[in-house]
Amino acid sequence: MKKRNLFLFIPLTFTLLGLTSVETKDEKTNVTAYLNRIKKEIWVDSVFNTFSEEDKIAQLFFAAAYSNRSKAEEDAVSNLIKKHHIGGLVFFQGSPTKQAELTNRYQTESNVPLMIAMDAEWGLGMRLDSTISFPYQMALGATAEDNLIYEMGAEIAQQFKRIGMHINFAPVADVNNNANNPVINYRSFGEDKVKVVQKAYAYMKGMQDNGLITSAKHFPGHGDTDVDSHYGLPVIKHSRERLEDIELYPFKELINKGLNGIMVAHMNIPALDNTPNLPTTLSQPVITNLLRNDLGFKGLIFTDAMNMKGVTAYHPAGEAEVKALLAGNDIMELSENIPKAIEAIKSAVKQGVIQQESINEKCKKVLTAKYDLGLAKWEKINLNNLTQDLNNEKAKTLNRQLSAATLTLLKNEANLLPLKNIEKQEIAVISIGSGSNTSLQNKANELAKIESFSLPITANSQSIQKVKSKLRKFDVVIVGLHDTQKRPNNKVEYSADLQSFIGELAQNPKSVIVVLKNPYTLARFKNIEKTKQLIMMYYDCENAQEAAINFIFGKGFATGKMPVSVGNFKAGEGIEVK
């Protein structure tokens, strides 16, 4: 009886304090959850009540931060934190130890702990040196092992937390159905909307189950554009019906599966809002009406970077941020001029253009997210063994497994692969696009007696002829088509002579061609469809090269399927060899 009265007393006490909200059925049967909710409300209200009107607005801004820039730029970030009390940071290029040091500094300087975010679609290696880069999403679109994508998400979450970060602006949920897309492309899981959902969900789930806020992007779908919104405003002229069927589909599905964050893209889509030159980031019909009301999204809504030309070309700093809040965004990242934007929003509130209650609601939403992330009890990042922890053996093994799982066998007409009677065959390995020995050659040399050749992207007819004359004696010629770009764009930068030589190799029945490039490059290689043995690896790195060689020499498997259609090769194609 006394115990029952105690439980009655606890909610009554909080009711008298004016701190309760309407209890859910689950909370009434779970006192711990109920009390935790009350603790959260107390913390949020106590912090909120210390804020000035400017502070409430500033919590809605995330500024850019780098760990490889000058002290003056570091101090400029500190100034935004100490003087304007911004809500968070987005880290870009640098090193893990320096970023951790800066994070400790910036968190110490902030009155309220900062949320720390990063665009790390393929892991910390997207931004930081000395860290792991997992396969690009286009490569992951080929794998049948979505459990590995989940594990990748979980590992990335652990690495984020180890370095003091809370939000990953990932996964990319765009359906890439435009081979000429200059900005999404290899960042998408592919052209099949159902598979995009499956893989984006696995990635999202792995991160969210391990304590991160995710941000599926780029709502309402950036996959069918031919303009990069960093440099201009793409215009999407599809009908509402088409958008509902393709572009919006992954976001609808992920929302229904518990997505906790979304990033809105800078695009003009007349079927959703016919205001000229208005990006979707500033559109109330897109964000409030469609995303909030129609799709029922309750999580955090982030703008894409507010310094991109997709916004700034038509909407100056200050004006853009006012429109972004009116549209329904919660957090604005990378504004061109944060102090100016804060003043513009203060003025809009004073004039009644923006309601103060809207600012209060968004501010409390941000504070609630901070509490849920554990920031009410922020602790300094331990710098000891940081780089080693971020490069742990489990993560390295997972990375190798992912690369192997993406391997897609497109042609094997003579059933040559995996190679048989290796010890009786003369085998050559030629790396094209590389001027030195590669992992492709080194791994092959571990498994068999081979001879290696290399040709740089600038190779002329004379150097090619020397190699060509030596290849005639070999029973098998393994050809690695290497990528020369920082990221796997759908470009081929080989010399004309080199491309002609590749066309000849493609018609040689003894050739095994390994494409370590964007799958869309298949359309740019002459005679590639005539190749008897063709392997697609999607990107160029040590793990991808070694996975290809392991398969060729009977030490691996082929289970990948093309995530996009290119010429005669259709999405979903891939020969399985286990």
Q: What is the pLDDT of residues 249-283, one digit of tens each?
A: 999 999 999 999 999 999 999 999 999 999 999 99
- For 511-544, what is each residue's pLDDT tens digit? 999 999 999 999 999 899 999 999 999 999 999 9
- The pair phi, psi for residue 73, each rounded to 5°, is -70, -35
Measured torsion, CA atoms of residues 415, 421, 424, 430, in degrees rounded to the nearest 10 = 50
Q: Cβ distance 312 to 260 under 8 Å?
A: no
3-state secondary structure of 114: coil
Distance CA 339, CA 344 (A): 9
Task: Give the pLDDT of residue 423.
Answer: 94
**Quick one: tokens of 279?**
């990006």
- The pair phi, psi for residue 65, each rounded to 5°, is -140, 145
Distance CA 303, CA 281 (A): 6
pLDDT band at 385 (very low <50, low <70, confident <90, very high): very high
Alpha helices in 373-518 (DSSP H): 386-390, 393-406, 439-447, 461-471, 496-506
Q: How many residues does the chain have?
A: 578
Distance CA 306, CA 338 (A): 10
pLDDT band at 1 (very low <50, low <70, confident <90, very high): very low
Between 229 and 154, the higher pLDDT residue: 154
Between 5 and 203, the higher pLDDT residue: 203
Interior CA angle at 331 toward 170 and 251, to 5°? 40
- For 156-174, what is each residue's pLDDT tens digit? 999 999 999 999 999 999 9
Query: Is residue 18 scored above 90 in pLDDT?
Result: no
The pTM is what? 0.93
Say how many C-beta atoms besides its own lie within 10 A of residue 267's C-beta: 27
Cα–Cα nearest to 233, from 269, 189, 193:
269
Judged by average pLDDT, the poorest of 190-199, 221-230, 309-318, 568-577 is 221-230
Residues 6+ apart with CB under 8 A from 285: 272, 273
Mean pLDDT score, 298-323: 96
Task: Give the pLDDT of residue 183.
Answer: 86
Query: Is residue 398 scored above 90 in pLDDT?
Result: yes
Say how many C-beta atoms besides its own lie within 10 A of residue 43's C-beta: 17
What is the DSSP track for 118-130?
E--TT-GGGTBTT
One-letter amino acid at 415 equals: N
Judged by average pLDDT, the poorest of 96-100, 390-394, 435-439 is 435-439
Beta bridge partners of 408: 536
Task: Give the pLDDT of residue 11.
Answer: 41
Q: Cβ distance 253 to 196 under 8 Å?
A: no
Task: Give the pLDDT of residue 436.
Answer: 80
Judged by average pLDDT, the poorest of 11-15, 76-80, 418-422, 428-432 is 11-15
Distance CA 229, CA 220 (A): 14
Cis before 276? omega within 30: no
* % pLDDT > 70, the chain: 95
Residues 6+ apart with CB under 8 A from 321: 306, 332, 335, 341, 344, 345
Task: Give the pLDDT of residue 25.
Answer: 56
Query: Is residue 17 scored above 70 in pLDDT?
Result: no
pLDDT band at 325 (very low <50, low <70, confident <90, very high): very high
Integer-rounded Cα Rg, in Å, for the chain is: 27
Q: Cβ distance 144 to 193 under 8 Å?
A: no
Distance CA 207, CA 156 (A): 7
Cα–Cα nearest to 406, from 520, 528, 519, 544:
544
pLDDT band at 23 (very low <50, low <70, confident <90, very high): low
One-letter amino acid at 95 equals: S
Task: Give the pLDDT of residue 22.
Answer: 47
3-state secondary structure of 134: coil
Place of tokens 């998408």: 188
- Greatest Cα pair distance, the chain, in angstroms, is 96
Cα–Cα nearest to 39, from 14, 8, 4, 3:
14
Spell out where 158-224 has E strands. Answer: 167-168, 213-214, 216-219
Mean pLDDT score, 365-376: 98
Q: Cβ distance 137 to 184 under 8 Å?
A: no
Between 3 and 392, the higher pLDDT residue: 392
**Quick one: tokens of 92?**
């870009």
Between 416 and 11, the higher pLDDT residue: 416
Cα–Cα nearest to 362, from 307, 312, 324:
324
Q: Cβ distance 564 to 550 under 8 Å?
A: no
**Quick one: tokens of 431?**
């790396």
- The pair phi, psi for residue 96, each rounded to 5°, is -65, -45
Say how many C-beta atoms besides its own lie within 10 A of residue 361's C-beta: 12
Query: Is residue 28 scored above 80 in pLDDT?
Result: no
Distances (CA, A) of 346 to 340, 354, 457: 10, 9, 56
- For 117-154, what is each residue's pLDDT tens digit? 999 999 999 999 999 999 999 999 999 999 999 999 99
**Quick one: tokens of 495?**
């010399």
Task: Give the pLDDT of residue 342.
Answer: 98
One-letter amino acid at 178 equals: N
Between 10 and 442, the higher pLDDT residue: 442
276: region left, alpha or beta (phi > 0 left; psi from -120 to 50 alpha): beta
Judged by average pLDDT, the poorest of 22-36, 346-360, 413-427 is 22-36
Task: Give the pLDDT of residue 352.
Answer: 97
Query: Can you state the percent helix, strand and coil of the chain, rounding each to 5?
Result: 45, 15, 40
Distance CA 149, CA 157 (A): 12
Mean pLDDT score, 339-343: 98
